Structure 1
C-alpha cells in the first residue's frame, strides 16, 4: 500500500457518521479563521496594530458563526468531498459571498467594531481558496491514491462518450475498484489524440487487439450503451481477438436516468448481439384489448406460452385459462404465477386434440380470446414421427378452432413459425397446413382468425442457443450443421409483446409477420457463446460441423411466394392477406392428410 492510499483510507475511516459533519465544520472553521487572519496581515503589510488585533479577536467568533451558518444553509456539508465538482464550487462561492454580505450588514446592528472593506475583500478571496482547497484536496488525494501500481489491473475503455466518461471518472477516483484505465478507443476521428480525465484516446475499435497486447490490458469495458447489435458484434469480435476479459454497460432499456455506474457492469449477453432495435408498442391499446377479458392460452407450459401468460396477466384480464398437456410444465408455471399474482388465473391439464375436453373448458369459462401456442416444434424429431406433427399441429389447431367457433370466441390467434414458409420439413409443413386452415376458417362465422409468424426465439426449450450452452458446459464440442446456415433470432419477451400487439389490429384472415431484423450465422452465434462463457473457440471448445439434417434449411424465409406483405401502423409488424387459394379444395386436402396421419399412413400423408 502506497502512502497516498494509506492517508486516503485513514481519512475515509474518519469521515464516517457523525464524525464527518464535525470534521467538515472544524476544517471550515480553521480555513475561515486563517483566511481572516491572513487578510489582516496582508492589509497591514504583516505588522498588525494592537487596535486591529483587538478588532480581529472580537469579530472573529461572529464571522465564524455567520459564515458557517451560510455554508450549512446552502447544504455544503451534505455532499461527499471525494465527488466535489464545478457545481459544488459555485455553491461554495454563493454561500461564502452571502455569509460575507450578512456579516457586513450585521456589524453596525450589533455594535461590533468596524472592519476595513479591504480586509473583507481579501478575506473573501482567501476564504474561497482555503475552503475550496479543503474540499478538492480530499478528491485530489483520492485520485493520487488511485494512480497505477502493481496491484491494480490495467483497463481499456471502449467509447469516449458520456457513458465512457462516467466509467473513467469512477475508475480514476476509486482505488478500491482495483482497476486503472490505461486508454480509450473510439471510432470518432475527432476524438483521436484527446484525453478524458487524463486518459488518452489511443485509437479505434479495430486497434483493440494491438493496444491490449502493447499495454498488457487485463480487462476491457465496453461503454457504448447506444451501440447497435451490429456494432456490438464487431466490438466483441475485436475483444475476442485480444483474448482479454470484457464487460459492457447496460443498454438503453436497462439504464436508469441515463446514469452508468461500475456496479452495473455485466458480461455481454447473446441478446446484445442481435440486430434488434427496441420494440415500441402501444401498451394502452393492448390493455384495452386484454383487460377484463377471459383469455385461453393453449400450450401454456411452453416457452412462448409461459411468457404469454405472464404478459397477459400484467393487463388485468378477468380470467386467464392456462391449458397444456404437460403437467410438469403447467405445475411450475402455476407456482410461478402464484408468486406474482393473487388469483385471476387457472391451470387446466388437457390436450388440444381432445374436443370433449376443450368443449368442457370453453363452456365453463367462456373465453373471448384464444392464443393457440400448443405445437410440436423440433424439426429432426418430427421427421421421425410425421404423423404426430400432423395430429398435434394440424388436428390440434382445427380442434381448438372449431370448438372456439362453436362457443363464439371473438378472436383466435395462431402462433406460427418461419419454418412454415416454403417448408422442407414435416414440422414446417404441418404448421403451414395450420396456417391455411386458420385462413379458411376465417371465411365463415363470427370468430376472427389471425396468424402471427416469427423465427427462432432465444432461450426457448430446445432452442439452438440453449443446446449450445449445454454443450459448452460439458466442455464441447459445439455442433453446428453447416458453416453457412443462418437463422432469424428474437427474444421471447419481445416476440410475445409483438404477438399481443398484432392481435389488437387483426381483422381476420391476416398473417402477421414480426420483423426479425437480419439473419445471423449459426456458427457465429456458437463462437460468440463460447467467448461469452470466458473460453476461446477452437482452442478451449471445439466446433464440429455435422451436416444438414433431414428437413433442415440453410436459410429461413418469412414470406410465402404468393403473399403480398405490407407495413402496418407498427414498424415491427408486417401483414399479408389471403393469397387467393381455393379454400374448399384446401379443406378437402387437409381432411385427407389428417385422416392419413390418424391411420399412421405415412406414404399417403
Structure 2
C-alpha cells in the first residue's frame, strides 16, 4: 500500500477481504457462545441464569479479541482461500483448540463457572463458523468458474496420474486464462484404474487412449510421464498420434524435480519424438575440454555447421572462424553468436573451399588447430544435373582444404560425410565417398611419413607456394584426419520435414517419391555430438558411424507429421507418390559390408575399418578427375566410377 502526498489511502483487494474476515470472526465468536448459552437453557433467553449471562457479557468481548490475535499469529488472514486445502484446515483446528482451551481455563482460574455444555457447544459452533466461511468462499468460486466456463472449455486428457500429472492437473484447474478442463487420466498402473482424482476418472491404460478420446470428446492430450523410458514414451505418443488431438509433451524429469510442471512448460510433440530409437546423449565433457582455448575453423555454416558453431562457442575456444560462400548463412550465425557470446573471438569469412589461394591464406593467417569441414553440395537431384560441380566443390574442395590444413600444422581435420557415400547410386554420394578416400589417403601418407608425396592439385599457378617450403612442412606434419558418417538430419536445410510442413500449410498434397522408400534419421544436436566426439576419438583415417537404429519409412514420417499438424492423412491431406528422383535409392546404408565395425567408448558410435585401395594410384587419378571436372566433361560419371569401385549410377 503506497502513499503519496495529497493522495488518498488505497487498500489492496486482499486487505479489504482480510478486514472483513476479521470483523466476521469477531462477530462469529460472540454469536457462537451466545448460541451455546441459548441452547443450554432450552432456547429461551429469559431462562438463562443471571450469573451465567453476566459472565458471558463480561468475558466474550475480551475472548473474541484474543481469538483475532491467535488467528493472526496462525496466518489465517494471509491464506489465499480460493486455494484452501489440508494445511488451512489444520490451522483452523489448531486455532480453535488453542483459543477454546485458554478461554475455558481462564474462566476456571477466575472462578467464573459456566455449564460444560457452554464450552462444548460454543467451541464447536465457533469452529464451524470460522472454517465454513473460508471453504464456502472457495466452493462458490469453483462452482462459479465451472458454471461460467462449462460451455466453451475444451476437454483434455492427461496421460500419467503420478506426481507430474497431478501437478499439471492442478495448474489447469486453477489457471484463470485456460479454456480447458481435464476430462480423464490415463495411467498404466492398474491400481489407479476406475479411481478418481478430484472427481476426474483414471480411465485405464495406454490401450484405452483411443476409447477415452471418443468417450470424453478429447481435443487435447498432455503427456506427463517424465520417468518413462524412451521406448514407452514413443509408444504412447504413437498411439496418441492416431487421434486428431493436439499433443503436448513434458520434456523430462528436470521439470518434475524442480516442481516446474505446468501448462507453460509443456511443449508440442515434435516429429523427432516419434523416432524409432533412443536419442544419443554422450558425455561431452571430454569434447569441450578438447576445444577449449583452441583455434577452430568451421567450413560451411548451414544446419550442421551452425549447430557446431553454437556448441563450440559456448565452451571457450581461443578463436572461432566461420567460413562459407553463402553470406546469408554466415551473417545469421555471426549475429546470433555475437549477441550471445560478446567476448568470443569470432571471425566470419566469405569464400570458396575450391579456391586454393584463399584456403592457404586463411590457414597461414589464423593457424586453426581443429577443422570441421561441413562445406559441400548435398542436394542429390540437383547434383545429378550438375555432376561436375559436385566433384569440384565436394571432392576437390575437401582436397584443397585438407592440404592447406596439413601444410599449416592443423591438429585435427574432421570431414562431415553421409550414408549416401555407401554404395552410392548418385554423383553426390560418390563425391562424398571420394572425400572419405581423400582423408584416408592423407592419413595413410602421414603415418608413413610421406605426406610430401601427396600431389598439389591446384587450378591456379603451380608455383604460388615454394615447393621446398611445403615439403619441409609436410615432413613433420601430424594432422589427424577423420570422417563422420550419418544419415538424414531432421529439420536441416533441404530435409524432407520443412518440405512436408510447407505442403501441409498449403493444404497438400504431401509428395513422397515412393511408398517403400526408407531413410535413417537423426536430430541436428545428435549429428553435432557425433562430429565433436569424432574429433576427440580420432587417431587418423577412421570413418565414424552412428548406430541410428531402425530406418523409418518416409510415408510413415509424412503421415505422422500430418497428424501432428492436426489433420487426418488421406482425408484432410492427401499423399501423392511422384516416383524416385534421378540417383535416388529406396534405402540408404550406413556402412559398406566390407568395412566391418569397431567399438568406441560410446556404444552407439562405431568405427568402420577402411576398405583398402591403392593410395598412390588414387592420388594420381584425382589429377585427371580435377581437370575433367573443370573442363565440364560429359563422361565425369564414368571417370568417377573407375576411381570409386562401389559407385553404380542409377
Q: What SS is found at the alignment partner of 1:442?
A: helix
Query: In the alignment, is residue 543 of structure 1 matched against residue 575 of structure 2?
Result: yes
Q: Supply the distance in 2 between the matched residues of 1:77 and 1:225 (Cα, whole angstroms).
A: 37
Q: Is the Cα–Cα contact under 8 Å of residues 391 and 594 in structure 1 kept in the other structure?
A: yes
Q: Supply the distance in 1 between the matched residues of 2:39 and 2:594 (Cα, whole angstroms).
A: 93
Q: Is the Cα–Cα contact under 8 Å of residues 295 and 320 in structure 1 kept in the other structure?
A: yes
Q: Is the Cα–Cα contact under 8 Å of residues 210 and 242 in structure 1 kept in the other structure?
A: no
Give CA deviations for 1:55-104 in whole Å, capped at 9, x if unaligned: 532531552243123213xxx54442222333444455556666778889
The corresponding residue for 2:170 is 169
Residues 536/53 of structure 1: CA separation in 2 closer, same or farther (3 Å cut): same
Q: Supply the distance in 1 between the matched residues of 2:607 and 2:23 (Cα, whole angstroms).
A: 72
The corresponding residue for 1:363 is 364
Q: Supply the distance in 1 between the matched residues of 2:183 and 2:400 (Cα, whole angstroms).
A: 65
Q: Supply the distance in 2 between the matched residues of 1:116 and 1:560 (Cα, whole angstroms).
A: 99
1:20, CA displacement in angstroms?
4.4
The corresponding residue for 1:5 is none
Residues 307/94 of structure 1: CA separation in 2 closer, same or farther (3 Å cut): farther
Give the number of aligned pairs: 584
Q: Supply the distance in 1 between the matched residues of 2:293 and 2:441 (Cα, whole angstroms).
A: 29
Q: Is the Cα–Cα contact under 8 Å of residues 226 and 253 in structure 2 kept in the other structure?
A: no
Q: What SS is found at the alignment partner of 1:224?
A: coil
The corresponding residue for 1:136 is 135
Q: Supply the distance in 2 between the matched residues of 1:254 and 1:313 (Cα, whole angstroms).
A: 25
Give CA deviations for 1:205-256 in whole Å, capped at 9, x if unaligned: 344444433443344433334556655565455445544x323133217736
Query: In the alignment, is residue 526 of structure 1 matched against residue 525 of structure 2?
Result: no
Q: Is the Cα–Cα contact under 8 Å of residues 502 and 573 in structure 1 kept in the other structure?
A: no
The corresponding residue for 1:8 is none
The corresponding residue for 1:424 is 425
Residues 502/218 of structure 1: CA separation in 2 closer, same or farther (3 Å cut): same
Q: What SS is found at the alignment partner of 2:268?
A: coil
Q: Is the Cα–Cα contact under 8 Å of residues 598 and 609 in structure 2 kept in the other structure?
A: no
The corresponding residue for 2:639 is 604
Q: Is the Cα–Cα contact under 8 Å of residues 158 and 165 in structure 2 kept in the other structure?
A: yes
Q: Is the Cα–Cα contact under 8 Å of residues 71 and 77 in structure 2 kept in the other structure?
A: no
Q: Supply the distance in 2 between the matched residues of 1:94 and 1:367 (Cα, whole angstroms).
A: 72
Q: Supply the distance in 2 between the matched residues of 1:36 and 1:575 (Cα, whole angstroms).
A: 86
Q: Supply the distance in 2 between the matched residues of 1:277 and 1:422 (Cα, whole angstroms).
A: 27
The corresponding residue for 2:505 is 473
The corresponding residue for 1:22 is 19
The corresponding residue for 1:353 is 354
1:196, CA displacement in angstroms?
1.9
The corresponding residue for 1:394 is 395
Q: What SS is found at the alignment partner of 1:297?
A: strand
- Aligned residue among 63, 67, 72 for 1:64: 67
Could you tell me which runs of 5 or more consecutive residues in structure 1 were left unpaired when the two chains were aligned: 1-13
Q: Is the Cα–Cα contact under 8 Å of residues 599 and 607 in structure 2 kept in the other structure?
A: yes
Q: Supply the distance in 1 between the matched residues of 2:616 and 2:221 (Cα, whole angstroms).
A: 62
> How is 1:112-131 mapped onto 2 (pairs within 5 angstroms)?
129-131=128-130
Q: Supply the distance in 2 between the matched residues of 1:493 and 1:191 (Cα, whole angstroms).
A: 38
- Aligned residue among 516, 525, 529 for 1:484: 516
1:406, CA displacement in angstroms?
1.0
TM-score, normalised via structure 2 length: 0.80
Q: Supply the distance in 2 between the matched residues of 1:584 and 1:96 (Cα, whole angstroms).
A: 96
> How is 1:192-231 mapped onto 2 (pairs within 5 angstroms)?
192-226=193-227, 231=232
Q: Is the Cα–Cα contact under 8 Å of residues 145 and 175 in structure 1 kept in the other structure?
A: no
Q: Supply the distance in 2 between the matched residues of 1:502 and 1:101 (Cα, whole angstroms).
A: 75
Q: Is the Cα–Cα contact under 8 Å of residues 70 and 98 in structure 1 kept in the other structure?
A: no
Q: Is the Cα–Cα contact under 8 Å of residues 454 and 514 in structure 1 kept in the other structure?
A: yes
The corresponding residue for 1:337 is 337
Query: In the alignment, is residue 84 of structure 1 matched against residue 84 of structure 2?
Result: yes
Residues 240/69 of structure 1: CA separation in 2 closer, same or farther (3 Å cut): closer
Q: What SS is found at the alignment partner of 1:560?
A: coil
Q: Is the Cα–Cα contact under 8 Å of residues 153 and 218 in structure 1 kept in the other structure?
A: yes
1:518, CA displacement in angstroms?
3.1
Query: In the alignment, is residue 497 of structure 1 matched against residue 537 of structure 2?
Result: no
Q: Supply the distance in 2 between the matched residues of 1:127 and 1:586 (Cα, whole angstroms).
A: 98
Give CA deviations for 1:33-60 in whole Å, capped at 9, x if unaligned: 5566667778888757124314532531
The corresponding residue for 2:457 is none
Residues 57/508 of structure 1: CA separation in 2 closer, same or farther (3 Å cut): same
Q: What SS is found at the alignment partner of 1:498?
A: helix
Q: Is the Cα–Cα contact under 8 Å of residues 227 and 253 in structure 2 kept in the other structure?
A: no
> Considering only aligned residues, what root-mean-square deviation do their CA atoms show, in Å?
3.4
The corresponding residue for 2:4 is none
TM-score, normalised via structure 1 length: 0.85
Q: Is the Cα–Cα contact under 8 Å of residues 143 and 172 in structure 1 kept in the other structure?
A: no
Q: Supply the distance in 2 between the matched residues of 1:20 and 1:280 (Cα, whole angstroms).
A: 53
Give CA deviations for 1:6-36 in whole Å, capped at 9, x if unaligned: xxxxxxxx98453344345455555555566
Q: Is the Cα–Cα contact under 8 Å of residues 451 and 511 in structure 1 kept in the other structure?
A: yes
1:130, CA displacement in angstroms?
4.4
The corresponding residue for 1:53 is 56
Q: Supply the distance in 1 between the matched residues of 2:98 and 2:601 (Cα, whole angstroms).
A: 58
Q: Is the Cα–Cα contact under 8 Å of residues 183 and 200 in structure 2 kept in the other structure?
A: yes
Q: What SS is found at the alignment partner of 2:593?
A: coil
Residues 447/62 of structure 1: CA separation in 2 closer, same or farther (3 Å cut): same
Larger displacement relative to structure 2 (524-533 or 196-205): 196-205
Residues 215/332 of structure 1: CA separation in 2 closer, same or farther (3 Å cut): closer
The corresponding residue for 2:615 is 583
1:373, CA displacement in angstroms?
0.8
Q: What SS is found at the alignment partner of 1:213?
A: helix
Query: In the alignment, is residue 310 of structure 1 matched against residue 307 of structure 2?
Result: no
1:289, CA displacement in angstroms?
1.4
Q: Supply the distance in 2 between the matched residues of 1:519 and 1:235 (Cα, whole angstroms).
A: 20
Q: Is the Cα–Cα contact under 8 Å of residues 322 and 347 in structure 2 kept in the other structure?
A: yes
The corresponding residue for 2:293 is 292
Q: Is the Cα–Cα contact under 8 Å of residues 30 and 60 in structure 2 kept in the other structure?
A: no
1:298, CA displacement in angstroms?
0.3
Q: What SS is found at the alignment partner of 1:604?
A: helix
The corresponding residue for 1:4 is none
Q: What SS is found at the alignment partner of 1:255?
A: helix
